Structure 1
Amino acid sequence: MTEVAPTLIYDGDCGFCTRSARQVERLPVRVRLAPWQTSDLAALGIPEERARREVVWVERPGPVRGGAAAVAELFKHCRGPWRLVGIAMTLPLIRTLAAWVYRLAAQNRHRLPGSTPACQLPAEQRPGAGGGRPR
């Protein structure tokens, strides 16, 4: 039986998010990248509102993690020094700092390199609004 790779769900309408997902492809990790707009969120147990708000890590079996905790899980699944970064991100003080940095970046992603006009729109007006279903 083959092991299913964990999935990292991101906002495919956000240029910064998509660019970040492309950087994940360079990491020494086996992970499936999927924009929430083309993912079956209901089957994954992820509310659309959550997928709009934060990156989500899905691994079966295991809890679904979002935001900085999802990034920490991604790094923990990497080989080499990235694994240590992921472990460090779960330590109390660093976890709090990572969550703050993640929220700050998420709230300002329209100002970050690679952003698109879609990043500036309210969530309900972005392309793909109303669809957490496969296209």
Structure 2
Amino acid sequence: MGTGRALLIFDGDCGFCSRCARFITRRLPTSAEVRPWQRVDLAAYGVPPEQAQHEIVWVAPDGRTDGGAQAVARLLLDCGRLWAVPGALLRIPPFRWIAHGVYRLIAANRYRLPGGSAACRLPTD
């Protein structure tokens, strides 16, 4: 903690999530660190383990957090340029609501997506 950079936390045990994280680090011009929750001191960032297992989490340099679709929005805003346009749209209704629904649908089915496996399946409530 205290690097002055944002942090994007993902599930390193999920093949689909790991594949997305590799895409982010290779293709997107983000200044954020991208790390699996299994290698992060979640308590130091105030992120509950249940949240990190359930969705990606964006931790801003000032310590504020966003999860799920809003973490994606923050990532895109951080990338700047044309990436910031969809990032900004994802922050306002009705796009925010749609993004939340799409994110939940993808998260619930990530084990079926390319790179996913049965280990990626989220526990049911």
TM-score by length of 2: 0.91
Q: Structure 2 vs 1, CA of residues 34 and 3 (structure 1 numbering), >3 Å: closer, same or farther?
A: closer
Q: Greater Rg, structure 1 or structure 2?
A: 1
Q: How does 1:75-94 map to 2 (within 5 A)?
A: 75-94=76-95
User: 2:86 aligns to what SS in structure 1?
Assistant: helix
Q: Equivalent residue for 2:28?
A: 27
1:11 matched to 2:11: yes
Structure 1 gap segments, 5+ residues each: 124-135
Structure 1 outlier segments of 4+, above 6 Å: none
The offset of 1:122, in angstroms, is 3.8
User: Counterparts of 2:3 and 2:39 in 1: how far apart (Å)?
Assistant: 22
User: Counterparts of 1:106 and 1:72 in 2: how far apart (Å)?
Assistant: 16
Q: Count residues with an aligned counterpart.
A: 122
Structure 2 gap segments, 5+ residues each: none
User: 1:75 aligns to what SS in structure 2?
Assistant: helix
The offset of 1:121, in angstroms, is 6.7
User: Counterparts of 1:89 and 1:5 in 2: how far apart (Å)?
Assistant: 22
User: 1:9 aligns to what SS in structure 2?
Assistant: strand
Which one is further off, 21-30 or 6-15? 21-30
User: 2:94 aligns to what SS in structure 1?
Assistant: helix
User: Counterparts of 2:51 and 2:93 in 1: how far apart (Å)?
Assistant: 23
Q: Structure 2 vs 1, CA of residues 118 and 82 (structure 1 numbering), >3 Å: closer, same or farther?
A: same
Which one is further off, 91-100 or 23-32? 23-32
Q: Structure 2 vs 1, CA of residues 37 and 3 (structure 1 numbering), >3 Å: closer, same or farther?
A: closer
User: Counterparts of 1:92 and 1:122 in 2: how far apart (Å)?
Assistant: 29
Q: How does 1:42-121 map to 2 (within 5 A)?
A: 42-120=43-121
Percent identity, please: 48
User: Counterparts of 1:10 and 1:121 in 2: how far apart (Å)?
Assistant: 13
Do the aligned residues in 1 keep the contact of 2:45 with 2:63 (CA within 8 Å)? no
